[in-house]
């Protein structure tokens, strides 16, 4: 039986978020190889992929204040710069996937996306659906978008996948970042942080108050906002579960892709 999985490679794991426009080519190559191996192991596995902007888009967007809106010529110049920087990282990610044998097909979100007050209200999904139909792996990414209220804004990879999920009905969403799941504090700076293995609507309110933000510049919010977006999606799409796991640990992504019952990281589910 064919299964559809959404996979996001976090900007924190594919770039050095503390240094502007700095990819991590060795990590990217390893993750691409794990994805390729999983596709060979599971011929029934279909993927829609996305990746964050990391030290590419986030730092440029923070400098220009793009997420808050664009209202003058300087801001529009910054908008174009952020778009170019985001696309530059996408080319790097796509090349790594293709080199590993993953048939990645980049889909530029800003070509069709429309927002209203920061919310994504339209995205043309036809290219994503056509790519899937032909055995390709559609690849979207955090990008800029025109906004009816703000002029322009930033759309996160989570927003894109959340828009596509009700239309494509994936069974799983995997988010590979720099830490192995959700913790009640940033484990990179708090070694005694407690790991949260499972989040459901029942315990989410209590978990929310324990979560911190991101350890580096992130204009789309830290861990708390990302988990909240994923929980909303899990509740809205029947049968969908999500897992936040480490892309730093070799083999973890491969295992999660081939084994739906892998216990890596943190599981987010409706019950």
Tens place of pLDDT per residue across the chain (271 aa): 578 999 999 998 999 988 889 999 999 999 999 999 999 999 999 999 999 988 887 677 778 888 899 999 999 999 999 999 999 999 999 999 999 999 999 999 999 999 999 999 999 999 999 999 999 999 999 999 999 999 999 999 999 999 999 999 999 999 999 888 888 777 777 778 888 999 999 998 888 887 754 444 444 446 787 788 889 899 989 999 999 999 999 999 999 999 988 888 999 998 8
pLDDT (0 to 100) of residue 219: 42
153 vs 145: CA distance, rounded Å: 6
Closest CA to 220 of 144, 167, 163: 144
Give, in order, the Cα–Cα distances in Å from 265 to each of 178, 188, 204.
Answer: 11, 15, 16
237 vs 36: CA distance, rounded Å: 27
DSSP state of 68: G
pLDDT (0 to 100) of residue 220: 41
pLDDT (0 to 100) of residue 192: 83
Q: Decide if 154 contacts 220 (C-beta within 8 A).
A: yes
121 vs 66: CA distance, rounded Å: 18
pLDDT (0 to 100) of residue 217: 44
């Amino acid at each position: 039986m064919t299964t559809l999985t959404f996979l996001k490679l976090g900007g924190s794991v594919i770039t050095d978020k503390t240094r502007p426009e700095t990819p991590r080519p060795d990590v990217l190559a390893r993750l691409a190889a794990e994805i390729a191996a999983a596709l060979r192991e599971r011929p029934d596995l279909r993927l829609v992929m996305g990746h964050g902007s990391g030290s590419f888009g986030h730092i440029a967007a923070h400098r220009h204040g793009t997420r808050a809106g664009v209202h003058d010529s300087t801001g529009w110049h910054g908008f174009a710069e952020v778009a170019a920087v985001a696309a530059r990282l996408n080319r790097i990610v796509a090349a790594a996937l293709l080199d590993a044998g993953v048939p990645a097909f980049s889909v530029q979100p800003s070509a069709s996306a429309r927002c209203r007050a920061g919310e994504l209200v339209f995205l043309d999904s036809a290219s994503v659906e056509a790519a899937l139909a032909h055995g390709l792996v559609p690849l979207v990414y955090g990008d800029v978008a025109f906004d009816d209220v703000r002029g322009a804004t930033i759309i996160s990879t989570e927003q894109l996948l959340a828009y596509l999920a009700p239309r494509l009905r994936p069974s799983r969403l995997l988010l590979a970042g720099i830490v192995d799941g959700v913790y009640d504090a940033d484990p990179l700076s708090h070694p005694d942080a407690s790991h949260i293995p499972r989040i459901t609507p029942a315990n989410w309110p209590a978990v929310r108050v324990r979560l911190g933000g991101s350890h580096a510049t992130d204009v789309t919010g830290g861990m708390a906002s990302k988990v909240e977006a994923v929980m909303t999606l899990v509740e809205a799409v029947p049968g969908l579960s999500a897992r936040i796991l480490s892309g730093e640990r070799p083999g973890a992504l491969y295992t999660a892709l081939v084994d739906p019952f892998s216990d890596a990281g943190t599981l987010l589910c409706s019950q």
